[in-house]
Chains A and B, each alone.
Chain A
C-alpha cells in the first residue's frame, strides 16, 4: 500500500521533528562556550552554576509546591466531574456542566488568566479574600484548568471499564461510595495517576495563568525562565531546561511503564476469574 508507506514516512519525519530540537537543546547545555552557537567542548559548568542561583532555585521549589497541590486537587475534582459525566444520568444543568468541564481545554490562556485575576480582585473588594495574590491564587487557577484534563482522561477510562462488577456490588446492597472505593477506584487508578501526572506537568509549565494571578514574591519557574529567555538564548537556561526535560520524561516513562504492567496484571486476574467462574 503506497499510501500507508507515505504515512509511515510521515510518522518518522514527525517524530524527528518533535524530538530533534529537544535533543539539540540538551547537547548544547553541555557546551563549554558562553556563545551558545559556537561549540567549545563538553562541560557541565552551567549545571554547577545553577545551584548558586538562589533566585532560580527558589522559583523551582515554589513551582514544585504549586504543581503538587494542583495535582492532588485537580485529580480529586476531575474524578468527581468524570463520575458525574459518566455514571450519573440526566440532571438539571448537565449540558452546562459538560460545557464548563470541556471548555477550559481549548480556552485561550490569556482569557482565563485575565478573567480569574479580575475575579480575585472583585472578591478581595467584596469579601476581603484573597488578601494577596500568590501561591493560593496560582493554585486555584491551575486546578481549574487541570480539572478539565483529568476529567477527560478519567471519563474515557470510566466508559471503558466493565460495569458488571459495579452493578453486581450494587445489587448485593453495597452503598454507592463503597462501590466506588472498593471496585471502581482500583479499576480506574491508572487513569487517576495519569491525570495527576498531567496536572503536575501542566502546572509546572504554565506561564500565562501564573503571570496574571501571581503577586509580589511568587514568581514561578516559567516566569523566571521567560524573563531570562526574552533577552535571548543563555547557557544557564539551556541547563535548567534540559533538567526539566529529563525530570518530566523520566516520570512520564515510569508512569507509563507501571500503569501498563498494572493493566496487564489486572487483565490476567480478570481472565483467571472468568475461567474459574465458567
Chain B
C-alpha cells in the first residue's frame, strides 16, 4: 500500500518540473501551436461557412484524402499587390530602423554618460511613453500633421509655405509615426549596452592623442555592436507587421503587409489568404527573429 502511494506521489510533478512545466505548457499551447494551425489553414480554401474555410482532410468511400490547396500561395506570387506590400513593409521597416538608430544612439549615449543619479530619471522620461497607449500617441500625430493641423498652420504663419503641404496620409507621416512609437525600444538596449563600457578605454585613447570622434568610431561603436543588433531587431521585426500606424497615418501609397493582412481577414473575410500572408511574413522574419533570440540569450548569459 505504501509502495503504491509512493508510486502515485511520484507521478505528481515535482517542484522543479512544475516550475518549468507551467510556463512551458502555456507558451507551447498559446504561442507555438497556433503557428502550426496557421500553416494548416493557409492550405485551405475560403468557404462560406463557420469557420470560413474548407477542411483539409475528407473521408469518403473508405478513403482518407488530404487536400492541400496551394492556390493561396499561387495567388500571393501572381498578384503584384502582395509582392509590393511585402517589399513596401521591408523598405519602411529598414529605413525607420535606420532613423531610430540615428536618433536613438546619441540619446542613449547622452544618458549613459550623464550623472549616475540622473540616469534613472532620463530613462524613465524616455520609457514612460511606451507604457501609455500607442494608439493615442499615433492619434496625437493625426491632429498635428493634418492639412489644417498645427504643423501646417505654424508653417504658414511663419511664412515658410503659402498653402498647406500634404503630410498626413503619406509615407512621411508613417515614418514619423514609426520613429515616434519605436524610438524608446531602440534607446533602452543601446543604453543597457553603453552604460557597461569601461570609460578607462576612452581615457587611454584620449591620452594617446585620439580625437573624441576617432575614439567613438574605434572604441565605443564597435563595443556597442550587441546593443545595436538588439535595438534594431526590436524595431525592425514588429514594424514589418505594423498595422495601426500605416492605417491611421498612411495613405493609398502606403502598402504594408500588416494592413493587407488585416483587410484580407476583416474586410474580405478570407482567412486562408490571410494565413498564407502570415506564413510568408514569418518566413521573411525567421532569420531576424533567430538573430534577436541568440543575441538575447548571449546577453542573458554574459552577466
A: which residues have CB within 8 A of B? Answer: 1-4, 6-11, 14-15, 17-19, 21-22, 24-25, 28, 36-37, 77-78, 80-81, 83-86, 88, 91, 93, 95, 97-112, 114-116, 118-119, 121-122, 125, 140-141, 143-144, 147, 151, 155, 159-160, 176-177, 197-198, 201, 204-205, 207-208, 211-212, 222, 225-226, 229-230, 232-233, 237-238, 241, 244-245, 248-249, 252-253, 256, 260
Can you list 5 residue pairs at the A/B interface with Cβ under 8 Å?
A81-B27, A108-B237, A244-B132, A245-B133, A245-B136
Asked if B297 is at the interface (CB within 8 A of a chain A CB), the reply is yes
B-side contacts of A248, CB under 8 Å = 131-133
B-side contacts of A115, CB under 8 Å = 34-35, 37-38, 278
Nearest residue, chain B, Cβ from A3: B212
A-side contacts of B72, CB under 8 Å = none
Asked if B137 is at the interface (CB within 8 A of a chain A CB), the reply is yes
B-side contacts of A36, CB under 8 Å = 143
Q: Once the chains bind, are B132 and A245 in contact (CB under 8 Å)? A: yes
- With the chains together, A11 CA to B105 CA distance in Å? 9
B181 to chain A, nearest CB (A): 10
Q: Once the chains bind, are B26 and A18 in contact (CB under 8 Å)? A: no
A-side contacts of B120, CB under 8 Å = 256, 260
Measured as residues with beta carbon below 8 angstroms from the partner, the interface class of chain B is 35 or more
Q: Once the chains bind, are B131 and A119 in contact (CB under 8 Å)? A: no
Stretch at the interface among B4-12, B78-86, B146-154: B146-154
A163 to chain B, nearest CB (A): 12
Asked if B222 is at the interface (CB within 8 A of a chain A CB), the reply is no
Given the contacts A103-B31, A115-B37, A37 and B153 also touching, CB distance less than 8 Å: yes
Asked if B170 is at the interface (CB within 8 A of a chain A CB), the reply is no
Give the one of A118, A198, A252 with max B CB within 10 A.
A118
Q: Once the chains bind, are B15 and A147 in contact (CB under 8 Å)? A: no
Give 4 closest A-B pairs by Cβ, nearest first.
Answer: A108-B241, A115-B34, A10-B106, A7-B106
Please name 9 further chain A to chain B contacts, defined as beta carbons within 8 Å, in addition to the given A14-B104, A25-B136, A37-B153, sorted by A numbering: A10-B110, A17-B103, A86-B300, A102-B296, A108-B242, A110-B241, A144-B27, A147-B27, A249-B128
Nearest residue, chain B, Cβ from A35: B148
Given the contacts A103-B293, A147-B27, A230-B248, A111 and B278 also touching, CB distance less than 8 Å: yes
Interface string of B205-232 (1 = CB under 8 A from A): 0000000110010000000000000000
A-side contacts of B73, CB under 8 Å = none
- With the chains together, A105 CA to B248 CA distance in Å? 23
- With the chains together, A110 CA to B257 CA distance in Å? 10
Given the contacts A37-B146, A115-B35, A230-B248, A100 and B28 also touching, CB distance less than 8 Å: yes
**Chain B at the A interface: SS class:** helix
Given the contacts A18-B180, A85-B300, A233-B143, A108 and B258 also touching, CB distance less than 8 Å: yes
A221 to chain B, nearest CB (A): 9
B111 to chain A, nearest CB (A): 7
Given the contacts A4-B212, A77-B23, A103-B31, A108 and B238 also touching, CB distance less than 8 Å: yes
**Chain A at the B interface: SS class:** helix
Asked if B43 is at the interface (CB within 8 A of a chain A CB), the reply is no
B-side contacts of A104, CB under 8 Å = 31
Interface residues of B in 267-292 (CB under 8 A from A): 271, 274-275, 278, 281-282, 285, 288-289, 292
Nearest residue, chain A, Cβ from B103: A14
B219 to chain A, nearest CB (A): 12
Asked if B90 is at the interface (CB within 8 A of a chain A CB), the reply is no
B41 to chain A, nearest CB (A): 5
B195 to chain A, nearest CB (A): 13
A-side contacts of B296, CB under 8 Å = 98, 102
Q: Once the chains bind, are B20 and A241 in contact (CB under 8 Å)? A: no
B-side contacts of A110, CB under 8 Å = 241, 243, 258, 261-262, 278
Q: Once the chains bind, are B135 and A225 in contact (CB under 8 Å)? A: yes
